[in-house]
Amino acid sequence: MSKRELIDCIREINTTAKAEFLARFSKEDLNAYLDQLMELNLEELAVPA
């Protein structure tokens, strides 16, 4: 995934994140952040047993 695609995906989940701010980070950092956001997003969607 390109840096631009990573930023777009992050901004879909974290709508308060500014593209200009995210652009300062490396692709690796953005990918790690996206992974964390996706985990948190899945946890919110999980229905407690």
- pLDDT tens string 4-14: 999 999 999 99
pTM of the entire structure? Answer: 0.82
pLDDT tens for 3-42 read 999 999 999 999 999 999 999 999 999 999 999 999 887 7
Whether residue 25 contacts residue 33, with contact meaning beta carbons closer than 8 Å, is answered with yes
Contacts of 14 (CB under 8 A, 6+ apart): 37
Q: Is 19 exposed, middle or buried (0-12, 13-18, 19+ CB in 10 A)?
A: exposed
